[in-house]
Amino acid sequence: IYNSFAIAVTQRRSEIGILRALGATRGQVLGLFLLESAIAGLIGSLLGAALGIATAWATASYMSTIVEQTVGVAQRVQELTVDPWLVAAGIAIGLGASVFAAWIPARNAARVDPVQALQKGKYQVLSAGENRRRRRMAVALAIISAVLLLFSSSKPLFYAGYVLIILAGLLLAPAMTLLLAKALRPILKRTALAEGALAADSLIQAPRRTSATVSALMLSLAMVVGFGGVAHSFYSAVGEWMDNVLNPDFFVSASANLIARTLTFPGETASLIERVPGVDEVQLVRNARVLYRQIPVMIIAVETRKVAQRIHRDPVAGDDEEMNRLTAEGKGTIVSDSFATIHNHKMGDVLALPTPSGPLRLPIVGIIRDYSDMQGSIFIDRAAYRQWWNDETANIARVYVKKGEDPGVVRQRVIDALAGGRRLLVLTNREVKDWILKLLDQWFAMTYNQIVVAVLVAVLGCEVKYEEQYGSRR
């Protein structure tokens, strides 16, 4: 939007000078461009709202599949609910953003001097005073941002620090662009001869125009790197978690995706599997979803003593041995760091968990990194679950094979042993991990779409800016 109206000011600069010479006030010129931006913003917002509704229809089925695979609830979107207030808010935001983005070009248009209107290019040069003001403001914003990012515990202030550092970068863009262009001029002159020198001189002579293009690329590239970094970091973290926690040779489940909590099998199945030659140990797991502070969270009931012997978890808070001992004795619970963050809990806080037998009150004795559920996970011992939920069933059996045995052969023996009873799936370690990674890919597909949009916006911004450049040179 900014670049588009900057082009309009450039292309109509002579006309603006004539209007000013004929007596038009600065306020009238400013109002002219702001009214134009408001009309364009209204049209764009209306079209954007319609496109957003159409996009929601297109993505509803896709998101339903992801939610079903993530939380185990099979629910398809039958109709799309459009909130009129939300649509109105979107249109208002689009209209406001259009007017805000056009403010600087409109202000520049209002300040056009009739005499200088025919002196093309001169207005692109930043004065020494403007450069100093920009640098001082950038340094001040960078200092404030550093304080907010490093020392603030408030989320709004923390995010404000990010916004301020972006503003500081934008203020420094003209000076940094000019500095880099001057540094590149000798290299371009040697490698591209006359064309290189002319290109560098063009950048140096118009830092205002050049910095806008550089800023558009800078912000879009920062978004690409940021989103890509988050995706890569999360992939790495989940990969480490899977290698540590999902270490059985194979899993027995009543569901193909390990998520559906309504599909269970009797606890006696563990004894049947343990009698299969080659099986070393079986760990039963029961997942259940409960409402905690009106938010659905996952209860994971495990055989804590067995798990502690197979898995060493690096706790975020608490001692590994102590938290496993207290949980196994039914004297505490272990929660994921995401649960603790969402509900602002810390070590020692007592959780009141709703159960069929009444509230189960357990203190938090450990906080660990866990990616079992988006809303966070609460780990209790299986004995406590049987007591309070009066439920002997399990969702998953984690099966370990004895050393020296072929996991593939033992897996087939387990399949044969379970063939006569309830239909259960025996999934290999690799199959489970691949399913989780596939689910992650589906979630991050939305992030990748945002990256594509950011790149397209940057490309369009550069294209519009170069159009302005060609117009100013005609």
Q: Average pLDDT, stretch 348-362?
A: 93
Give the confidence band of 194 by pLDDT, cuts at 50, 70, 90: confident
pLDDT of 455 reads 76
Question: Under a CB-based contact definition with an 8 Å cutoff, are residues 359 and 280 in contact?
Answer: no
Residues 9-68: tens digit of each pLDDT: 767 777 877 787 778 888 888 888 889 889 989 999 999 888 888 887 777 766 666 555
What is the percentage of the chain residues whose pLDDT exceeds 90? 28
Assess whether pLDDT exceeds 90 at residue 225. no
Residue with tokens 């387990």: 414
Give residues with Cβ within 8 angstroms of 320, minimum separation 6.
Answer: 308, 312, 313, 314, 366
Residues 237-275: tens digit of each pLDDT: 888 888 888 899 999 988 766 666 678 899 899 999 999
Assess whether pLDDT exceeds 60 at residue 376. yes
pLDDT of 359 reads 92
Q: What distance in Å separates the CA atoms of residue 46 and residue 334, rounded to the nearest whole number?
A: 49
What's the Rg (C-alpha) of the chain? Answer: 31
Considering only residues 444 and 315, tell me which one the structure prediction assigns the higher pLDDT: 315
31-45, 50-64, 199-213, 336-350 — which is least confidently predicted?
199-213
Assess whether pLDDT exceeds 60 at residue 473. no
Task: Report which listed range, 156-170, 207-221, 378-392, is most confident.
Answer: 378-392
Among residues 399, 353, 348, which one has the least CA distance to residue 376?
353
* Assigned token pair, 238: 């989940």
Question: Under a CB-based contact definition with an 8 Å cutoff, are residues 135 and 129 in contact?
Answer: no
Q: What distance in Å separates the CA atoms of residue 313 and residue 332, rounded to the nearest whole number?
A: 17
Considering only residues 222 and 112, tell me which one the structure prediction assigns the higher pLDDT: 222
At position 165, the amino acid (one-letter code) is I
* Assigned token pair, 16: 């603006």
Considering only residues 461 and 186, tell me which one the structure prediction assigns the higher pLDDT: 186
- Within 17-138, strands assigned E span none
Q: What distance in Å separates the CA atoms of residue 368 and residue 366, rounded to the nearest whole number?
A: 7
Residue with tokens 């009698």: 275
Q: What distance in Å separates the CA atoms of residue 134 and residue 142, rounded to the nearest whole number?
A: 12
Averaged pLDDT of the chain: 82
pLDDT of 465 reads 63
Among residues 306, 329, 332, 330, which one has the least CA distance to residue 318?
332
Question: Under a CB-based contact definition with an 8 Å cutoff, are residues 94 and 44 in contact?
Answer: yes
Residue with tokens 């906080």: 367
The CA-based dihedral angle spanning residues 288, 330, 266, 431, taken in that order and rounded to the nearest 10 degrees: 60
What is the number of residues in the chain?
474
Q: Beta 279-292 vs 396-401: how paired, if at all?
A: antiparallel
Assess whether pLDDT exceeds 80 at residue 336. yes
Give residues with Cβ within 8 angstroms of 4, minimum separation 6.
Answer: 464
Indicate the SS3 state at residue 268.
coil
Assess whether pLDDT exceeds 80 at residue 1. no
- DSSP 8-state symbol, 216: H
Q: What distance in Å separates the CA atoms of residue 342 and residue 344, rounded to the nearest whole number?
A: 6
